[in-house]
A and B are shown apart, each in its own frame.
Chain A
Amino acid sequence: MREIEAIIERYGAQRRHVISMLQDIQARFHYLPKDALMEVAARVRIPLIDLYSIATFYNCFSLLPRGEHVIKVCLGTACHLKGGTRLVEALERELGVREGEMTPDGRFSFETVRCVGACALAPLVLIDERYYPKMTQRKLTQVLARLRRPQPAAEAG
């Protein structure tokens, strides 16, 4: 909670900076924990319902925890034309969860985004903020397989 306090203080607990506070909380925890929202509401003196409406209105906020790896499929116009939807379907098949959900083991979250502005590389997938240009279903399965592999405990000498 001390971290939440620091974020609120960064903006002087001012009402007008409440979106920035939520953005910083989201960046830190990858979602908006309920406790954090209640803390902001109390400190900024704003009804919790107003925070809830902001949190559910803007695309960048999530009220649900996210997985270890966050996969985002871009569905901008260029990505749509070049098969973005098929990538979404492929992920649903591969991960067994639907868009916006997290796998039961907490390894992967998968969501769609409205254009990340790298349209020349369509269709595009972002995994943990890294861009994967000109994606195909085949390449996506390969990347997933690599991420699924258990990480070696230590580098072999």
Chain B
Amino acid sequence: MKIRTLEQLRALEHELRAARDRKPCVRVCGGTGCRARGSEDVFGRFRVVLENEGLADAVEVKFTGCHGLCERGPLVSLAPHGIFYQSVEAGDVPAIVTETLARGVVIERLLAQDPITGKRVRQEQEIPFYRRQQRIVLRFNGVIDPTDIREYIALGGYRALGDVLTHKTPEEVIEIIERSGLRGRGGAGFPTGRKWRLARAAPGSIKYVICNGDEGDPGAFMDRSLLEGNPHSVIEGMIIGAYAVGATRGIIYVREEYPLAVRTLQIALAQAREYGFLGEAIFDSAFSFDIEIVRGAGAFVAGEETALIAAVEGRVSEPRQRPPYPVQRGVWGHPTVINNVETWANVPIILERGPEWFARLGTATSKGTKIFSLVGKVANTGLVEIPMGMTLRELVEEIGGGALPQREIKAVQIGGPSGGCLPKALFDLPIDYESLTEAGAMMGSGGLIVMDDRTCMVDVARYFMDFLRDESCGKCLPCREGTQRMYELLTAMCEGRATDADLDVLEELAQVVKETSLCGLGQTAPNPVLTTLRYFRSEYEAHIRQKRCPAGVCKALIRYVINAERCTGCVACVQPCPQHAISGQLKQPHVIDPERCIKCGICYEVCQFGAVEIV
């Protein structure tokens, strides 16, 4: 059915919501993390068990997008009870159906436990991981079935679009976005409203809007989770943006590494066409617009907007000099607005709740919320959304639950390969565009990787340089050769072959690459080196002067030994050793032969008594 008026949309919304509220609902998380842990089986099992119990018509089961707390998956939430079960296995399903759904009895062992009080908590909001979050862009993630547009409509979806097309001029829409203070969520934080205004003013009858879903930063999965969990919020934002700038064509550029996101988007676009939100004369207005998907073939540099345009045009993804900016000359030479997935998803909410409401969230210069993928050496890994201005400490300690057992957090890496490592001493820094840039990092798209005392900062810098030299498109010399040389210098440091002079060269080279590279990616490529040098210089010096890796990571500088006092002689490490380097009888302390040892670390991995030590 095609929706032509706001009244029709409202009527449908009421009808769908009423139907929705009538039944209890089981929401099984279908995010990547939970899927990898078997949530598809859990979902399938629910269907079978409900059928067998004769409850198939009385209870609804949905496979939703990411709930966020990936660490404890598979996650299952029950509405309207609000009960939140974690680490659910297919074997738990019969109990959930016969106990909780049929008789209202809560299964204690599947509830989350408060780490401080040890008390079991029932509701999502009682879990510390969720308590401090403000889920606005992610509000429907984990609630709706992303493959059914009616789910989105039932919760008010496409209402903002209907209102825009029937009551607002493009100028008014741009003004609202400007007043909201929304800035690009892809990394650099350019004001979205200003970008739209420039594109609207650019001459040309054909204009494009593009959703940048390349998400090439390692350690980031925000865009993926949004596209997989609530694709219509992104699509609705793009249609509104297209109307504002006068575009008739839209492109969603999404990585091929995200096949589920591609599939979900294909379904969502087809449904949006069916309901008339895409196509000719949307909401019976004079505005027509459609969106196509372009699958990225895997190139980090494609996240840069001019490189992305090259990829969309079917060429090798190399950036070009700006200006002209894409808002002036973009795809096929036409004015083009490129915004990130999360930026687009913010648009419908701003129009629905008003720019003043949005501008009240966050800080003076950074409005709204930001989604982060909180990963690495932290207790609660997952997808989080916080108001701008929250401190790193609150994010890492309270939401993330702090360090892993017996470890100590020493830094976070924020902003991906273009970002930087910030030490614990700066954890009171508020998360906003300016503060992070000033500290040498950047907001980036939302990857936040926690590092602890077992993370070597020289190795981290080397890792990023390895990534960047591989992903550098090779067009400009400073980035192509500079990242390679920095990688070689860092490798020499990790292997204990470097001198103090190398450190000076590294520092100088980093400055040169920063100042002379062609595109934003090259200019920010030295950030991982510069920030680790700035905040963790002593670790570099230990590698160079004492030939020592304080974190015990760099293979050439460490040895594995067995602590005879702790070793119980269980022989668990003897057989897995690929070098047969461990000798020792049952119940006698074992010994590693350093001549044979290749430092693979399997013994360290398998020892349950902490007897294998790194020195």
Contacts and interface: CB of A to CB of B under 8 A. Distances in A.
B295 A23 contact: yes
Interface in A30-83: 53-54, 57-61, 75-78, 80-83
The size bracket of the interface on B is: 35 or more
Among B317, B376, B576, chain A packs the most CB atoms within 10 A around the CB of B376
B344 interface: no
Contact of B601 (A16, A18, A76, A137): A137
Nearest to B413: A77
Contacts of B473: 57
Interface residues of A, number: 45
A29 interface: no
Given A60-B256, A89-B600, A114 B314 contact: no
Contact of A115 (B218, B377, B455): B218
B573 to A, nearest CB: 10
A17 B314 CA distance: 6
A114 B605 contact: no
Interface of A: 15-20, 22-23, 53-54, 57-61, 75-78, 80-83, 86, 89-90, 93, 113-122, 124, 131-133, 136-138, 141
Interface of B: 32-33, 35-37, 70-71, 215-221, 224, 256-258, 294-295, 297-300, 311, 313-317, 373, 375-377, 381-383, 413, 416, 447, 449, 451, 455, 460, 463-464, 467, 470-471, 473, 576, 578, 600-602, 605-606
The 10 closest A-B pairs by CB, nearest first: A59-B298, A120-B70, A58-B297, A76-B218, A131-B36, A77-B219, A117-B221, A115-B218, A119-B375, A120-B381
B451 A81 contact: yes
Contact of A118 (B33, B216, B297): B33
B400 to A, nearest CB: 11
Given A76-B218, A81-B449, 13 more contacts: A16-B314, A17-B314, A18-B314, A19-B314, A53-B316, A60-B256, A90-B578, A114-B298, A117-B215, A119-B447, A122-B375, A131-B35, A137-B600
B221 A118 contact: yes
Contacts of B216: 114-115
Contacts of A15: 314
Contacts of A114: 216, 218, 298, 300, 467, 470-471
A17 B257 CA distance: 18
Contact of A81 (B256, B315, B376, B416): B376
A89 B602 CA distance: 11
A115 B71 contact: no
A53 B315 CA distance: 9
